[in-house]
Amino acid sequence: MNTVATIATADADPLRSAQSTRARPARPSAGATALAFVWRAVLRIKHVPDQLSDVTVFPLMMLVMFTYLFGGALAGSTDEYLQSVLPGILVLTLTMTTQSTAVALNGDITKGVFDRFRSLPIWQPAPLVGALLADLARYTIAAAVIVGVGVLLGFRPDAGVSGLLAGVGLVLLFAWSLSWIWTTLGLLARTPESVMFLAILVTFPMTFVSNVFVDPATLPGWLQAFVDVNPITHLVTAVRGLMHGQTATTEIGWVLLTCAVLVAIFAPVTMRLYHRER
């Protein structure tokens, strides 16, 4: 009997020596986990820098092309048209780039990466929240490119730097709110390509059938009715008002209400779909 106990003790000692005696690391906080996924998105851009083409090359092309090709015909002067079209190009660019979050999210799902994330002992919404926060940085880059090149071309906001920053901030808020729709779509769609197609199918008519490029008064009556209720129209009017010191309180209110409704509806839906996949 003593011999058996001695053998058991000898066998157990190597196991005990192999075990770590240090305390288990504390579980990371929700904020730290979300920032880790923000850094993951930054590293992805570092290794695949062409992912920034939609927030650098695309806005430059749109701004220069529409200013110099259509400015003289639509406003009689490229300089005068630039003052009006730059806020519109800013809204158009940031709105159309909001799909990137959903495309990347769906790619992680189809590759099985998100299954690994869900198995980790972390705050579960962190992959979604981190991706959305990282996209805010991408939107800021796009806004800086558009405004910077616009200033070089002759854009001068009448409201000064404060009005310019207020207008950019409103567009960033709207873009972040809109991205929740595509995040929901990214969890439902089967492929990243289908996410991109559906997002473009929605954002393309919303941005172009608005007051971004032309005065809605020049459009047919049936088209004006759509433009008048288009949230992009209210956003462009609000941003122009902020940047040029014009009164646009009603439009700003509509934009803020739209942002609140989008987040209130699609953020819970996104989280429910995400947890349902677990």
- The domain segmentation of the chain, as residue ranges, is 30-276
User: In the predicted model, is pLDDT for residue 6 greater than 60?
Assistant: no
The mean pLDDT value for 222-247 works out to 91
Instruction: Please tell me the least confidently modeled range out of 20-24, 83-87, 163-167, 188-192.
Output: 20-24
User: In the predicted model, is pLDDT for residue 1 greater than 80?
Assistant: no
Angle between helices 78-96 and 126-153 (to 10 degrees): 170
Cβ atoms of 167 and 242 within 8 Å: the answer is: yes
User: In the predicted model, is pLDDT for residue 191 greater than 60?
Assistant: yes
DSSP character at residue 51: G
Q: Express each pLDDT in 129-161 by its tens digit.
A: 888 888 888 888 889 999 999 999 999 999 889
This prediction has a pTM of 0.83
Q: State the burial class of residue 183 (Cβ atoms within 10 Å of its Cβ: 0-12, 13-18, 19+).
A: buried
pLDDT of residue 278: 47
Question: Which residue from 117, 100, 91 is spatially nearest to 44, judged by alpha carbons?
Answer: 100
What is the overall mean pLDDT for the chain? 83
Which range has highest mean pLDDT (47-51, 93-97, 170-174)? 170-174
Take residue 212 and report the two structure tokens written for it: 């971004």
Give SS3 for 156.
Answer: coil
Cβ atoms of 34 and 130 within 8 Å: the answer is: yes
- In 76-191, where does DSSP find H-type helix? 78-96, 99-111, 113-119, 126-153, 160-188
Q: From its phi and psi, is residue 231 left (phi > 0), alpha (psi between -120 and 50) or beta? A: alpha
